[in-house]
A and B are shown apart, each in its own frame.
Chain A
Amino acid sequence: MFGYYIALALRSLRTTPILSALMVAAIAVGVGAAMTTLTLNYMMSRNALAHKDDVLYAMQLDNWAPDRGWQSPNEMPWEINYKDAISLLHSDIPTYQVAMHRWGGPLSREDSELRPYSAEARVTSRDFFALFDVPFIYGGSWSSDADSNPVYQIVLSQQTNEKLFNGENSVGRTVNFNGAPFTVVGVTEYWQPSPKVHDLNNGNFKKSAEVFLPFGLHRSFEIYSWGNTNGWKGEVIDSYETHLGSEYVWIQYWVQLDSAQQLEDYRDYLTGFIRQQKAQGRFPRPLKFGLSRPSQWLQLNEVVEDDDYMLNWLSLAFLLVCLVNAVALLLAKFLRKASEAGVRRALGANRRAIFTQHLVESGCIGLAGGLVGIFLTTATLALMRQLQMGALDSVAAMDWLMMSAAIGLAILSSLLAGLYPAWRISRTNPSIYLKTQ
């Protein structure tokens, strides 16, 4: 019976090609608009660290001004200062802990034709790779003394290793970074979380670092962060050492706490740490620190902005208009064929059969609309990638889940749209149409 309904539906659609095309177009455009914004929002709200969401924590300390908090939702700065980071790194409670910030500089290989280029770097303590689950192709992280002493070791990303060494095992080789020779100790696999949950102050969807450097290098290069540096005290910085000892915040800090006991211990540890600092006249605000899981961290940092949510609602309203449009057109179309339905009813088809037949016809329109809608979505996303000049490349793309969602949405919405017209036609009295023939 279902096959017969489909054959009937196709024949009926062919008899009114323009009306059918209009309906397919309306649903396709509605689905296209809705799916474009839904895809963007879905990709933006992904959590690359979801598999470790219950053990990783982004840490914040409230060392801000006595008279005002920081302008974030929880009134704490996103980053901490250097001296606190160095003290906290000594704790043995977390399984892993990472102090890090963005940096960069010219990168080159001594005996190579390759022109030096500016590389995006991450200066970090050694647990970075273990904490964020960054796998190595070759080698591994530097030794732990590199986090407190100047050790000229470097970890390359897969792309950087491809560029400099054609993808060979480069462990033990030398590269030049910022005018100094560094020994390669490891090469990571391709790693590009999107959004960049580990580094949300430097563009949520930008490329992740091309090289990784140990945390013990600050004094030898007088490294200033390429990320944000913020202060409230107006401290006079007359040397690099005062910069390191100042209240300026510029270090991102993460910890991995595997058990509830560890979490509790670490909370106690941080409370104790802040109390101790308060005794020395620091941390003028009420005692407060933050430990946010990756999912909470993404929300706190408002990766998906108000504008995005608004576009989401807008496109759903848009889909609604398209649906109402489709309902009106379907109604017109079905009523025009009411006499056919009348004949079928007179020949013994019950209301339910008429209803199902027309609903199948709506479903066919929905399927066609969904397919065209996917095409439209892909085209719109491509246009967006172009308009955003690379900033959204990792976000403006459909995966299989979103594609099936698009078809599902189209069929569901056209069935919804077909519900009333099909019901209406199934209620018509056959005798009227038989009389006028």
Chain B
Amino acid sequence: MLELRPILSALWQSKTAALLIALQLMLTLTIVSNAALFIHNRQEKIARPTGMAEKDILAVNFSALAKNYEMPAAVDADLALIRSIPSVIEATHSHKIPLSGSGESLSLFLEPNANKGGFSASYFYVGAGVTEALGMELIAGRDFKATDVQVGDHTSRNTLNAVIVTQQFARQLYPDAHAVGKYLYTGNNNQPIKIIGIVARNLGPHLHQAMAGNTVFFPQLMVVDGSASMTYLVRSEPGQLQEVFNQLEGKLRVRDPQRIISLRTLEAYKKRSYRADNTTIEVLATVITLLATIIALGILGLTSFWVSQRRKQIGVRRALGASRRAIARYFLIENLMVAGTGIALGLAAAQLANKVLVMYFNQPALPLPLLLGCALILLVISLGAALSPALRAANISPALATRSV
């Protein structure tokens, strides 16, 4: 029923072209499967929840022009003004902006006066209501109150006495026990800092670090001499951020014109932090699409050529009683054999290339389902490309056999 022998002998006649198609499919599968893996990993990284309601959060940053700026009073006035806007849920001050790629980290210790065996975490100096202002889920303990917050600078670590940590960090500190109520130390120092709350998650300032998610919050209004700059994090009702954005800029400027104010959504910071990943994804997706197109066009071109070369033979077969369906099937099976060979070789080549990528470029291993999925899609594409010339072949009239010999 399947004309395997005649197909094989016909293929042998144009073995170079068949081999080239197979080679193309092999290379394509190698590239496409590894690129797809790359895209998949980047997408997973971008899709990680940040632990914050970043779509509803605005980061407002200002620098005052005066050298000796009365920061605590200004912050009180600003926050009161921000909270008075109806669609604002909560606002707080912070010395760094989450997801922005700019942040600081420190080592925390379980024992006083230690300097070895610390746990690294990114930290923020924030104000009251930080959990609410960032839309974080508080899973134990409580949020900061106004009375927790001290005014200080880089030098005031030895007077801190409260901290909110992420669950991820709490589990590293106390794998088996409840962390709320326990104490931490900043190293070479015997000032106990009490863990008063645990939030479900916060990716912190650096999205690309392995320790992202080890984040802690200290209740401190950071006032640095010589650089009067401050950030507010403002959460609006869902969907009301643009409204808050529009009002805030003007209101803050009116309250104190002698400063430079810039507003940006946390979502924008997140997008900017992931831009390299996004570019890579887009480039690879384009490469995959182009490759699939090129391979489809190549198969289309070559199958058309084979069909046109064998018009006379097809006419003869039709005249001898072969049905249209048999002719179309012939070309599709021929294509399937060539593509199948290429893809089979590609399965091995893709694994091999992945081994190299794992070894030299720090890439993850290629999972089999992904590879098989890519192989299947390529097979469908190559069959689809052969379909139109095969149908055209089927339409060749048997009368052709009698002509032009």
Q: What residues make up the interface of A, taking CB atoms closer than 8 Å to B?
A: 18-19, 22, 25-26, 29, 33, 36, 67, 105-106, 108, 115-118, 176, 178-180, 220-224, 229, 233-240, 242-243, 306-307, 309-311, 314-315, 317-318, 320-322, 324-325, 327-329, 331-333, 335-336, 380, 383-384, 387-389, 391, 420, 424
CA distance A25 to B298 in the complex (A): 11
> Is the CB–CB distance between B301 and A19 below 8 Å?
yes
Return chain A residues, CB-CB under 8 Å to B362: 306
Answer whether A105 and B302 are a contact pair too, CB < 8 Å, given A321-B24, A332-B17: no
A324 to B24, CA, bound (A): 6
Residues on the B chain within 8 Å of A388, using CB = 275-276, 279
CB pair A320 B27 closer than 8 Å: yes
Contact with A along B33-71 (1 / 0, CB 8 A): 011000000000000000000000000000111111100
The answer on a CB contact under 8 Å between A237 and B157 is: yes
5 smallest CB-CB distances across A and B, nearest first, come from: A234-B187, A179-B67, A221-B226, A328-B20, A332-B305
Q: Is the CB of B283 within 8 A of A311?
A: yes
Closest A residue to B27 by beta carbon equals A321
* Neighbour of B28 across the interface among A25, A321, A328, CB < 8 A: A321
Tell me which of B232-240, B286-294, B393-401 binds A: B286-294
* B residues less than 8 Å from A317 (CB atoms): 27, 30-31
B155–A237 CB distance below 8 A:
yes
> Can you list 21 A-B contacts (CB < 8 A)?
A22-B297, A22-B301, A33-B287, A106-B259, A221-B225, A222-B224, A234-B188, A235-B188, A307-B361, A311-B280, A311-B283, A318-B290, A322-B294, A328-B20, A329-B302, A331-B20, A332-B301, A388-B276, A388-B279, A391-B275, A391-B276
Query: CA A176 – CA B189 in complex, angstroms?
Result: 40
User: Using Cβ atoms and an 8 Å threshold, which residues of chain B touch A314?
Assistant: 31, 34-35, 284, 287
- Residue from the list A108, A306, A335, A387 in contact with B275, Cβ < 8 A: A387
A237: chain B residues at CB < 8 Å are 154-155, 157
| CB-contact partner of A236 in B34, B158, B226, B291, under 8 A | B158
User: Which among B35, B115, B154 has the greatest number of chain A C-beta atoms within 10 A?
Assistant: B154
Tell me the minimal C-beta distance from B207 to chain A in angstroms.
15
Complex CA distance for A387 and B286, rounded to whole angstroms = 14
Please count the residue pairs between chain A and chain B whose beta carbons lie under 8 angstroms apart in the complex.
Answer: 170
Q: Would you list which residues of chain B between 265 and 289 have a CB under 8 Å from chain A? A: 272, 275-276, 278-280, 282-284, 286-287
Q: Do A179 and B228 touch (CB < 8 A)?
A: yes
Main secondary structure of the interface of A (DSSP, over half): helix
> Are A329 and B298 interface neighbours, CB within 8 A?
yes
Which residues from B are CB-within-8-Å of A329?
298, 301-302
**In the complex, which of the residues A117, A309, A325, A384 contacts B260, with contact meaning CB atoms closer than 8 Å?**
A117
Q: Is B116 an interface position by the 8 A CB rule?
A: yes
9 further A-B pairs in the complex, CB-CB below 8 A; given A178-B226, A179-B228, A221-B227: A106-B63, A221-B225, A236-B157, A321-B28, A331-B17, A331-B20, A384-B279, A384-B283, A424-B16
**Bound-complex Cα distance A240 to B28 (A):** 60
Taking the complex as formed, is B309 at the interface, i.e. its CB lies under 8 A from any CB of chain A? yes
B295 interfacial by beta-carbon distance below 8 Å: yes
**Could you tell me if B227 and A178 are in contact, using CB atoms closer than 8 angstroms?**
yes
CA distance A179 to B229 in the complex (A): 12
Residues of B within 8 A of A242 (CB): 155
B133 within 8 A of A: no
Q: Are A387 and B154 in contact (CB under 8 A)?
A: no
Which among A22, A105, A176, A220 is the interface contact of B298 at CB below 8 angstroms?
A: A22
B31, A179: Cβ atoms closer than 8 Å: no
Q: A178-B227, A179-B65 are in contact. Are A310 and B118 (CB under 8 A)?
A: no
Complex Cα spacing A240 to B226, Å:
11
| Cβ-defined partner of A328 (8 Å) among B107, B275, B302, B363 | B302
- B391 in the interface (beta carbon within 8 A): no
Assess the B282–A387 pair: CB atoms within 8 A.
yes
- Chain B CB within 10 Å — which of A19, A235, A310 has the most? A310
* Shortest Cβ gap from A116 to chain B (Å): 5
For residue B116, which residue of chain A has the nearest CB?
A: A67
B224 to chain A, nearest CB (A): 6
B275–A389 touching, CB < 8 Å: yes
Residues of A within 8 A of B215 (CB): none
Kindly list chain A residues whose C-beta atoms are within 8 Å of the C-beta of B69. 179
B21 interface residue per 8 A CB criterion: yes
